[in-house]
Amino acid sequence: MFRPKLPDVPTLPTTPVAPPQTQAPVRSADRSLTPYAGAVAAVVIVGIVLTALLAAVAVSAVSVAIAAVVLRSLLNGANKR
């Protein structure tokens, strides 16, 4: 009378049920990585060109700075005489 009544546990089926199998997508033979090779090569070439331009700008800036220091020292030396 004072014991709770537990619900009935449903019985599991005795035969194993396998989930439906899905096939992995098959890569078609007509699609290859050739179109991507051109894009990758273009990106690499653009990167190399931009890096070379950046290096050229940096070298030019350093040479202009050195020339400015030399000219400044020459002008200051001429004013002191």
Q: Which two tokens stand for residue 54?
A: 């950046």
Q: Which two tokens stand for residue 36?
A: 């991507």
- The rounded distance, in Å, linking the Cα atoms of 73 and 69 is 6
Amino acid at 65: A
What is the average pLDDT value for the chain, to the nearest integer?
82
Percentage of residues in the chain with pLDDT exceeding 70?
75
- Predicted pLDDT at 17: 63
Percentage of residues in the chain with pLDDT exceeding 90?
42
Per-residue CA distances from 14 to 11, 20, 58 (Å): 9, 18, 77
H-assigned helices in the chain: 34-80
What's the pLDDT tens digit per position in 26-65?
666 666 667 788 889 999 999 999 999 999 999 999 999 9
Record the pTM: 0.49
What's the pLDDT tens digit per position in 57-79?
999 999 999 999 999 999 987 66
